[in-house]
């Protein structure tokens, strides 16, 4: 009996060494550990009592030895199988991936969001107003009466309805905002589409976005205009850019300024601005003796052109996917 056990151990170890797959291993394990050893140990009862302890002890030793050997061999085989699998599993990683359908915002929306976010973080709220305006709100209330020379500054789309025009700038929103909020202080930006009677070419559009800003309060100074516009320019274009303020003229601001930033080839115009004209304050419902304010306007499409070296402004509303998908 002892001899059978010793043989079984020796044979099994040899077989274990020879086999190469988990299936063979499982078969062997079940044959030996569940079958043959159990069978031998079960037959102990037929032995003389004095032999039984020795056989029982050896039987347990063999079982333990074999279990350990099986466990060890199983690890080896698993490792070998994995190695084989890995070896066979290589694919051509240079093949293109499965296409994913991705959506995109229009570049004009992207820039508008960027601009609006900067102003929002500086405490400005968004105010939206209409595209089709009356002549009064677009011009007269902004200190640009009929037949005034300043009207030449805007090429206007007129409609067949008397006194109804397409807004040439977002500035009429100033009047709407002031009349809604007076006498509260105001800090708003007014983004929106504006329209110009202008032949469309690579640098001119008849329809484009503008972002107007308006601040009104009891203590608003031109120094605030400068500081605020510099803060914006540094966030939008980078803190290292120099900013220049040039005297200019808009009928609805006094003094008026043109704001330039330093580009690679000289100064680039980024915004017009100024202190709100007393007549405009009054038309908005604020006493210009007590209140003051500043306003500014900028064109986000120009920002996008500049940033991405786009050579043709007409790309924006053509909606050619070959353009849109680059963003």
DSSP 8-state code for residue 139: T
Nearer to other proteins, 4 or 113 (CB): 113
∠ CA 136-141-146, nearest 5°, is 55
Considering the complex, what minimum distance in angstroms separates the CB of residue 147 from other proteins?
5
The label of the residue with tokens 């206007």 reads: 156
Q: Does 3 bind other proteins (CB under 8 A)?
A: no
Residue numbers 82-121 binding other proteins by CB under 8 A: 95-96, 98-99, 101-106, 108-109, 113
Nearer to other proteins, 52 or 106 (CB): 106
Nearer to other proteins, 12 or 129 (CB): 129
Q: Does 241 bind other proteins (CB under 8 A)?
A: no
> CA-CA-CA-CA torsion for 110, 116, 121, 122, nearest 10 degrees?
140
Q: Does 149 bind other proteins (CB under 8 A)?
A: yes
Judge contact between 119 and 232, C-beta under 8 A: yes
Displacement of CA 83 from its chain's centroid (Å): 42
Q: Could you tell me the strand order of the sheet in which 125-126 lies?
A: 125-126, 186-195, 207-217, 292-298, 266-276, 253-263, 243-250
Q: Site for other proteins (CB under 8 A): which residue of 193, 202, 308, 326?
A: 193
Q: Does 143 bind other proteins (CB under 8 A)?
A: yes
Q: Does 303 bind other proteins (CB under 8 A)?
A: no
Considering the complex, what minimum distance in angstroms separates the CB of residue 148 from other proteins?
6
Considering the complex, what minimum distance in angstroms separates the CB of residue 210 from other proteins?
14
Q: Beta 125-126 vs 186-195: how paired, if at all?
A: parallel
Q: Does 183 bind other proteins (CB under 8 A)?
A: no
Which secondary-structure segment (H or E) carries 296? Answer: strand 292-298
Which among 203, 211, 215 has a CA at the least distance from the CA of 292? Answer: 215
Nearer to other proteins, 166 or 305 (CB): 166
Q: Site for other proteins (CB under 8 A): which residue of 16, 32, 220, 305?
A: 220
Judge contact between 124 and 187, C-beta under 8 A: yes
Q: Does 206 bind other proteins (CB under 8 A)?
A: yes
Considering the complex, what minimum distance in angstroms separates the CB of residue 229 from other proteins?
9
Q: Does 130 bind other proteins (CB under 8 A)?
A: yes
Nearer to other proteins, 5 or 135 (CB): 135
């Amino acid at each position: 009996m002892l001899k059978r056990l010793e043989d079984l151990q020796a044979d099994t170890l040899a077989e274990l060494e020879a086999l190469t797959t988990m299936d063979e291993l499982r078969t062997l394990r079940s044959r030996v550990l569940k079958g043959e050893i159990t069978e031998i140990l079960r037959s102990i009862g037929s032995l003389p009592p004095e032999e039984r302890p020795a056989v029982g002890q050896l039987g347990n030793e063999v079982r333990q030895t074999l279990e350990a050997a099986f466990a060890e061999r199983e690890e080896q085989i698993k490792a070998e199988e994995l190695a084989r699998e890995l070896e066979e599993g290589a694919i051509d990683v240079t093949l293109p991936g499965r296409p994913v359908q991705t959506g995109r915002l229009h570049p004009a929306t992207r820039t508008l969001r960027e601009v609006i976010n900067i102003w929002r973080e500086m405490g400005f709220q968004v105010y939206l107003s209409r595209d089709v305006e009356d002549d009064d709100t677009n011009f007269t209330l902004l200190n640009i009466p009929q037949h005034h020379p300043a009207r030449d500054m805007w090429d206007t789309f007129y409609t067949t309805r008397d006194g109804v025009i397409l807004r040439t700038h977002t500035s009429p929103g100033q009047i709407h905002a002031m009349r809604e909020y007076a006498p509260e202080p105001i800090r708003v930006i007014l983004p929106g589409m504006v329209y110009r009677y202008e032949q469309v070419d690579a640098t001119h559009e008849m329809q484009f976005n503008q972002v107007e800003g308006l601040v009104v309060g009891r203590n608003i100074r031109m120094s605030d205009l400068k500081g605020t516009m510099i803060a914006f320019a540094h966030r939008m274009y980078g803190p290292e850019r120099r900013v220049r303020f040039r005297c200019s003229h808009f009928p609805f601001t006094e003094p008026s300024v043109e704001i330039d930033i330093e580009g690679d080839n000289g100064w680039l115009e980024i915004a017009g601005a100024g202190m709100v004209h007393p007549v405009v304050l009054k038309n908005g419902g604020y006493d210009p003796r007590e209140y003051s304010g500043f306003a500014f306007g900028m064109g986000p499409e120009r920002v996008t052109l500049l940033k991405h070296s786009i050579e043709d402004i007409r790309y924006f509303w053509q909606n050619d996917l070959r353009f849109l998908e680059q963003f």
